[in-house]
Every structure is written in structure tokens, then in C-alpha cells.
Chains A and B, each alone.
Chain A
Amino acid sequence: MIRSVLIGLLTVAIAATGYWGYTEHQEKNAILIKAENNYQRAFHQLTYHIDQLNDEIGSALAMNSKKSLSPSLAEVWRIASNARSDVGQLPLSLMPFNKTEEFLSKIGDFSYRVAVRDLDKEPLTKEEVDTLRQLHKKSGEIKKELRRVQSLALKNNLRWMDVELALASEDEPMDNTIVDGFKTVEKNIEDESEVKWGSTEEIQIRDKTNLNKYLSGKPISANKAKEIALKFIGSKKSPANVKVDETNKNSNYAVYNVTIDRSNDETIYMDISKKGGHPIWMLSSRDIKENKIGLNEATKRAEKFLKEKGFKNMTLADSNQFDQVGILTFVRFKDGIVYYPDSVTVKVALDDGSIVGYEGINYLTSHKKRTLPNKTISVEKAKKQVNPNVSIHEEQLALIENEGKEVLCYEFIGTIDDDTYRMYINATNGEEEKVEKLKDPEPLYS
């Protein structure tokens, strides 16, 4: 009797466990399929978009009238951006695919630039037509390879989850059709050097981390770097714990990284350039207590600090209070002109007003003797270039960096209704260089 009851109970228990295991398994599968489907969708859309991209560049090549060329190139820009977003959704971060992403981004930049240009005044140059032709060829190659991978994936039911596993547990040799296919694409793009990007190439943003290129002075030793760092933070006697690291020998960002442990739970980090021993930045990890001073007082402390460090002719460009610190950005100001590229940022603790951060890489890499272009346009004339809906409240001359070049502008700050805008009108040709909406405080949504 007892036996049969026990057997009965056990049977029920086993059945229940089995059922539980089965549902767990089902749920896991459902989630895996969901994840897989997301990847599949991104992958198939990517092939579709590259296909479209190739077609659209092709038709742009055949177009003659400017009326149809501009929209067509705008379309190229849109499709390239879609394709980029597809790539961003695939698990490709662990393998070389960044050149392809860059390629797509460059196609986008190139087609956008040409599309928004007035092609009646400035028709496509011969080089640009050549570029388009090359892009057509390249995108055709990518398309072919991706279509091949796609058909194999469909035929053999290849799963992206396997790709992910293969990439994550890279115990070479990796034998995965999809991975191989994408590697082929990337390789193809790497030989892309023959593509001339024309004007976009000049617009490359200045690589400010290339310190050896921009800084002057003789190489210094690690010991000297330590000395400079201690002097910079105004430490009289050398604290016990100072550690000096350095960046990789081949790196353009050539600095000594100095870590100073102070007794009271404060660690100060600093980068000192190997060339010339310039302090690049400083940051303190100190826990900052309750606010005791205001932002205005903090500004004064920061000004004093900059003066001590030998900065001249600096003016406050932006000030913001975040929690217990004031972030103050200063720019060079001389003879009535603001030099925005020459900026330094100082971080002031609002409990005791001490300087807990300094960032000078912008100033160090951009400050130089400049020959300013003549301003040929008067303020009044420049004002007329501003949108008439804007009521202008402030104006000054400013040097700004726009699309990789420094331009002398009239800077106007004005409002439309409750929104504040900053507008730059080129002081030599009167063009509207840049308009930006200035940020208002953000309401807390929760």
C-alpha cells in the first residue's frame, strides 16, 4: 500500500519536473529565437540597403540634370545611414569590421555634402564623378559578397547566435561562413585607399591627441614629469606615493601619467606630455563635501589659478554647476576677439574652492600665432544676415573652428520667444557659418 503510494507520488513528481523542465526549455528557446530574429532582421536589411545603395549610386552616375542629381545623392546619404545603423545592431564588435562602418559613414558625408550644394553654381567636378564611380564599384563588391553570404545563410540555415558564440570564444581557427564573409568585405574595404574623398578629406577633425605634432619643447624624463606634476598641484614636500606611468612608445599621445596619493583619501592624476613637459590635464578624486561657495567665487578662484599657471588674456566663456563642482571654461580673449579654439576647463570644488581638475589639451594643441583675415563686413551688415525673427542681445568678434577650419566671425547671441541661440556670421564673406540653440536647464522628469 505504502509502496504504491510512494510510487504514485514519485511518478507525479517526475512528471511535474519533466513538465517544468520542458516549459523552461521552451521559454529559453523562445528567447533565443527572439534574439536570433533581431540579428537576422538587421543582417537581411543590411544586404538590402547595400543593394539599394549600389543601385542609387549607379543611377546618380547616369544622371545629367541637377534637378534629379541632388535628390538622388540625398537618397544615397539616407541609405548609407540606414546601413550603418544595421551594422550597429550586429554582433560585429569583436571582429574587424570598423573599416566598413567608416566607409559607410564617409559615403554618407560625401553624398550629403554634394547633395546640399548648389549644383547649378558648383557642378560636380571631375574628381567627384571619379569618386562616385569608385564608390559604385566598391559598393558593388560589398553587395556581391553580402548577397553570397546571405544565400549561403538561407540555404544552410546559418544562425547569428552561432556567429556570436564563435566570436566570443575565439579558440581559433574560426570556421564560420558568416564571419568569413564579413572578413572578406572588410578586407575589400581596406584596399579602399584609392578612393578619393575630395573635400571631405580636408574636413577631417584635427586630431588633438597627436601631441608630438602640436607641442614644442625637448623630451623630458619621468623624474622631471613627477617634478612638474608636484609643482603644478602646489605640493611643497613630495608625498610618499607618487607613481609615474607612460603611454605606449608608439602612441602619438605621448605622456607620462602621474598618480599622486595624498594622505586624506585624495588621489590626483595628471598627464604630462613627454615633449616639452606640458601639463595636459589634472583630475582629483577627492570626495567633495557640502557646497560652501558659489559659482562666482569659484570663477574667481579659477581665474587666479590660471594666472598662476601663466595664462594671459583669458575670459570666462561658460560656467556650470554640477552637483558639488563648478565647471568653468575659459577662452583666450585679446583685442576684442574671442578665440574659442584656445580653451581651458577648470573644475572647482564648491566646498573649499580648491581646484580639483584642469583640462588644457585644446589650448595646448590649438594656440598659436595666427594671422587673422581682414574683416571686410561691418557689424551692421552682418546683423542683416541673421534671421529677422531673432532679437539680438549680445555681439562680439569671435574666432571659431568650423568644419576643420578656423574662421573669423561675428558672434550674435539672441532669442526667439523663450529660446536662446548663438549665431556666427563670417566676417569676411558674410556667410552664416553656424547657428546653435543654446541649452536650457533640463526639467527633471521623475
Chain B
Amino acid sequence: MNKFHGIVKILLACFFLAASFDIKPNQAHAFTDQVIQKGAVGDDVIELQARLQYIGFYNGDIDGVFGWRTYWAVRNFQYEFGLEVDGLVGQKMKDMLVKATEYDEHYVKKHLNRGDTPRHYGGQPRDETQVKKNQKNRQSKQNQHAKRGQQGQQRKQTKQRQQIQQKQPNQAQQQQRQMPNIQQAVNTPKGFSENDIKLMSNAVYGEARGEPYIGQVAVAAVIINRLNSASFPNDVAGVIFEPRAFTAVADGQIWLQPNETARKAVLDAINGWDPTGGSTYYFNPDTATSGWIWTRPQVIQIGKHIFAH
């Protein structure tokens, strides 16, 4: 009898445990509370992309950056399931995604950190089929075309869930042929690549690491102003490596490892902050060797440098 009671107790405990899990399913991997919008980066975006890819709305890389492809995928999803089409991922959309899709955080993150390209993230067993990469890539392109044609035809506000679930078998078949990817990525400002930013950070660090923060932004701003000026080359490398343009380039200090501050200064300058009022020259009045530089119309002294047009 005692034994029986024990079993009942255990069963009851199991039931309650299960019930408590059931209240908030998938809580373990679910989104945070924030509304996700274009330009965002981070775990929520990774999850969003993975889930959208799971049901075939998103064909791009799972890279954790909310770019244009993710934006269109979100809008398509909103359109198909009768949500307000605004490209913002709010609670309602997140709930729908969580209900309809699975997300294996561990698996996605593992590949994201390793930087390799596993097969498509979807409902299929994942560790098979690594072959015929190229062929699959081509096919997935074709699929995208086909899908784009279909989109926007059906729009039913009711029975959303069933719709999603009906979709799945179809999508699963397609997914088996697709081959894409989990690949880390970053936001970069328009017209600049991540490597340009690194090169500029090197130059700023080499030239102005002892300066106050604003002095570093100012040096970065001069590089930007030179890019836009007709009297200087139009590309980052051309400006930085112009012989005798920067002392840090001439004496090799540009190859020191830059710190975070230099990078921040460069990003601020690229994003529009210019403490120099459009200057294209600067010099240290204590060490300037060229008499000509003194004849340039000066704007302001920031830290040790005088900035001039």
C-alpha cells in the first residue's frame, strides 16, 4: 500500500512538473522581451532568423544581423498571417513563431561560433547530407524564385496556426534540398567594409592614441574628409598610404594593435561626427617640419593637433 502511495505521489509530481512546463512551452529558448527591428544584432536576431528559416520564409544566412533579407522575410510572414506589416517583430509574432517552429539554440550557436556551414536549419535530421554542396546551392536559388511568385496570393487571417502547420510538410521537402548557412556577420556603415574600419582604426591608433577621445574622432574625421575631397584619393587605403601623409604610416606605428577606443572613434567619424569642421589637414605644432602646413587656414586645436583646411 505504501508503495502504491509512493508511485501515485511520483506520478502526481510528474504531472505537476509537466504542467508547469506546459504553461510556457519553449521558454528555455524563447526570445527576450524586446521588439526586434531592422539593424539589430544579437541572440534574438539569430533565433528569429533560425525560426523563419525553419518555416521557409528566410533563405539567407543565420548571421545574427537584422539586414534587408531578414526584413523582407519578416514582412512576408506578417503579410501571410494577417499581422500588421511593419517589419517590427513584436510579442505576437514572436509567440506565433515559437508555437510553429523549433529552435535548437545550442546547435545553431555551435556552428555560428565555429564559422562552418552545416546543412539547412529545418525539421530534418541534421547530421546527414553534407555532399553536393554546389548543386544544392543552385537549387536553393531556384526555389527562392519560385517562392517569391507564390507569395502574396493567399491571405487568411483565421486558422493561422493550422496554416503554418500545413505549410511545414511542403517546406520540409524543400529544405532537404537547400544548403545554407550559419555564418557570422556584422553591421557596417554604408560605403565602408569591416576591413576599412580596421585599417582606419590602425591609422587613428598610430596617429593619436595619446589624445583625448575627441582628438581621435577628429583624426578619423580628417581621413573621412579627405575621402570626400577632390585633392585626395577616394579610397581609404589611398588616403592612409599616401606617402608622407601620416607619420604613423611612415614610421610603422600604424601596425600597432589598435584598442577599442580607436575603433569607436572611427565609427563615430564615419557616422557623421566631425569635430574639425571639415578639415583635411592636421599637424602637431611642436613637431611639424613643413613650413607650408602652417599656411593652411586653421580651424581649431584639439589636444595636441591643429586642424586646418
Q: How far is the CB of A308 from chain B (nearest CB, A)?
A: 20
A283 partner, pick from B39, B238, B268, beta carbons under 8 A: B268
- A320 touches B (CB below 8 Å): yes
Q: Return chain A residues, CB-CB under 8 Å to B275.
A: 257, 269, 271, 281, 283
Interface pair A94/B244, CB less than 8 Å apart = yes
CA distance A96 to B293 in the complex (A): 9
Interchain CA distance A415-B71 in the complex, whole Å: 12
Taking the closest CB of chain A, its distance from the CB of B49, in whole angstroms, is 11
Inter-chain CA distance A30–B41, complex, in Å, is: 49
Going nearest first, the 9 A-B pairs with the smallest beta carbon separation are A253-B277, A294-B34, A441-B65, A105-B230, A209-B278, A91-B243, A420-B68, A285-B213, A296-B35
Residue A321 contacts which of B39, B69, B244 (CB distance < 8 angstroms)? B39
Instruction: Map CB proximity to A onto B217-251 as digits: 1 under 8 Å, 0 otherwise.
Output: 10000000000101111000010001111000000
B33-77 near A? 1/0 per residue, CB < 8 Å? 011111111101000000000000001110101011101100100
The interface size of chain B toward A, counting residues with CB under 8 Å, comes to: 74
User: Does A54 count as interface, using CB distance less than 8 angstroms?
Assistant: no
Considering the complex, give the chain A residue whose CB is closest to the CB of B195: A445
Cβ contact within 8 Å between B37 and A94: no
With A85-B233, A294-B32, A294-B35: A281-B144 Cβ-Cβ less than 8 Å:
no
Residue on A with the closest CB to B71?
A420
- Cβ proximity bits A73-99 to B, threshold 8 Å, 1 near / 0 not: 000000000001100111111111011
Q: Complex: how many Å from CA A246 to CA B300?
A: 7
- A99 to B229 Cα, complex, angstroms: 11
Nearest residue in A to B183 (C-beta to C-beta)?
Answer: A443
What are 12 A-B interface contacts by the 8 Å CB criterion?
A88-B238, A91-B244, A93-B244, A96-B292, A167-B290, A283-B214, A285-B212, A296-B36, A320-B39, A320-B189, A439-B190, A440-B67
Chain B residues contacting A283 (CB-CB under 8 Å) are 213-214, 217, 268, 273, 275
**CA separation between A283 and B302, bound complex, in Å?**
14
1/0 contact string of B274-309 vs chain A (CB within 8 Å): 110110000000000111110001111110000000
B244 lies within 8 A of A441 (CB): no
Q: How far is the CB of B80 from chain A (nearest CB, A)?
A: 14
CA distance A271 to B42 in the complex (A): 34
A444 CB contacts on chain B under 8 angstroms: 115, 183-186, 194
Q: In chain A between 321 and 377, which residues have their CB closer than 8 angstroms to a CB of chain B?
A: 321-323, 326-327, 345, 347, 357, 359, 361-362
Known contacts A295-B37, A321-B40: does B242 contact A442 (CB below 8 Å)? no
* Residue of chain B at shortest CB distance from A296: B35
A443 touching B63 by the CB < 8 A rule? yes
Q: How far is the CB of B201 from chain A (nearest CB, A)?
A: 12
Chain B residue numbers with a CB within 8 Å of A167 are 244, 290
B37 interface neighbour in A98, A245, A296, Cβ under 8 Å: A296
Q: Is the CB of B185 within 8 A of A418?
A: no
- Excluding A91-B244, A209-B278, A281-B274, 20 further A-B contacts by CB distance (< 8 Å) are A85-B238, A94-B290, A95-B290, A101-B230, A168-B244, A170-B289, A269-B213, A293-B34, A294-B40, A295-B39, A296-B88, A322-B189, A323-B264, A347-B268, A359-B271, A439-B190, A440-B69, A441-B65, A442-B194, A444-B194
The docked-state distance in angstroms from the alpha carbon of A296 to that of B278 is: 32
A39 to B244, CA, bound (A): 12
**Beta-carbon contact of B68 and A93 below 8 Å:** no
Contact A440 B68 (CB under 8 A): yes
How many inter-chain contacts with C-beta < 8 Å in the A-B complex? 204
Most chain A CB inside 10 Å of its own CB: which residue of B39, B141, B188, B300: B39
Say if the beta carbon of B253 comes within 8 Å of chain A. no
Q: How far is the CA of A443 from the CA of B65 in the complex (A)?
A: 10
A291 interface residue per 8 A CB criterion = yes
* B188 contacts A102, C-beta separation under 8 Å: no
> How long is the Cα–Cα vector from A327 to B38 in the complex, in angstroms?
12
List the A side residues contacting B27 at CB < 8 Å.
Answer: none
Task: Kindly identify which residue among B38, B188, B243, B291 contacts A89, using a CB–CB cutoff of 8 Å.
Answer: B243
Q: How far is the CA of A20 from the CA of B30 in the complex (A)?
A: 68
Asked whether B188 lies within 8 Å of A439 as measured between CB atoms, the reply is: yes
A102–B231 touching, CB < 8 Å: yes
Contacts of A168 in B (CB 8 A): 244, 289
A318 within 8 A of B: yes
Alpha-carbon distance between A390 and B42 when the two chains are bound, in angstroms: 30
| A296→B66 CA distance, assembly (Å) | 12
- Determine if B187 is an interface residue (Cβ-Cβ < 8 Å): yes
Give residues 274-332 of A contacting B (CB, 8 Å): 281, 283, 285, 291, 293-297, 299, 318-323, 326-327
Q: Is the CB of B188 within 8 A of A345?
A: no
B272 contacts A359, C-beta separation under 8 Å: yes
Shortest Cβ distance from A164 into B: residue: B244
**Is B148 among interface residues, defined by CB-CB distance under 8 A?**
yes
**Residue on A with the closest CB to B225?**
A209
Answer whether A281 and B273 are a contact pair too, CB < 8 Å, given A294-B32, A322-B187, A442-B188: yes
